[in-house]
Structure 1
Amino acid sequence: MSQERFDKGLAKRRRVLGAEYVDQSMRNADDFTRPLQQLVTEYCWGEIWNREGLSDRDRSVINLAMITALNRPHELRLHVRGAINNGLSVEEIREVLLQTAIYCGVPAAIDAFRQARDVLTEMGELT
């Protein structure tokens, strides 16, 4: 493991998803799940999210679409928060999810809208 890449990844992960969530995930890691937390932190966040080719904002747009297509509601909730933290507006998130309705299917988009609405309401972005 590259400690430098892990540390960069941990910092980026905390900034995008929120320190409280990330720190809890790291604390809750056990002997079985710790290697996955390390892998995700080092390579997903430390390597890919820190590349210069796309902004964090652009990466959030891509993630919202892909996670909707994969129908991963837990991850979608995290990345809706991340999208807000990375500067996307509620309207832009809505547009990404509408785009997924056409290309990924209406059922996937309906679930994504439900999850996004709940998170945006929790964050005070919707009333």
Structure 2
Amino acid sequence: MDDELYARGMKVRRAVLGDAHVDRATQKITDFDRDFQEHITRHAWGAIWDRPGLDRRVKHLITITLMAALGHEEEFAMHLRATRQTGVTADEVKEALMHVAVYAGVPMANSAFRIAKTVFAEMEQQP
């Protein structure tokens, strides 16, 4: 079961984040973080992201909102770049960040808007 869960997780991870990102991340794995990387691939990507009930776009928008609300700037930016794979739009991110302002606070939303503007501008410059 674990190997199947890992394989499912890696498939979803690649679909959401893109092969290039996942390849870079897996090349950086060391003995120190191997167990952790396998854990998140199995449990976050395989068990949660691959669950039925919500489509991948909705899950991605929820994840983006949570990363913004919790102030996880690096993960937030990574997931913004991954919107190319999931079809989450900049307008949807903007609306989600408006919710962050109300429910998590204006400073969290302010930081998230700043990061989103930078990331989306960079994405516009890329093919």
TM-score (norm 2): 0.91
Could you tell me how far apart the structure 2 residues matched to 1:84 and 1:62 are? 16
Q: Aligned residue for 1:34? A: 34
Could you tell me how far apart the structure 2 residues matched to 1:71 and 1:57 are? 21
One-letter code aligned to 1:119: V
Could you tell me how far apart the structure 2 residues matched to 1:11 and 1:42 are? 10
Could you tell me how far apart the structure 1 residues matched to 2:96 and 2:11 are? 26
Runs of 4+ in 1 over 6 A off after TM superposition: none
Could you tell me how far apart the structure 1 residues matched to 2:8 and 2:54 are? 17
Could you tell me how far apart the structure 2 residues matched to 1:75 and 1:12 are? 17
**Within the alignment, does 1:120 sit opposite 2:125 as a pair?**
no
Count of aligned positions:
125
Alignment of 1:13-52 (within 5 A): 13-52=13-52
For residue 57 of structure 1, give the secondary structure of its aligned residue in structure 2: helix
TM-score (norm 1): 0.91
For residue 43 of structure 1, give the secondary structure of its aligned residue in structure 2: helix
Unaligned runs of 5+ in 2: none
Could you tell me how far apart the structure 1 residues matched to 2:80 and 2:62 are? 11
One-letter code aligned to 2:4: E
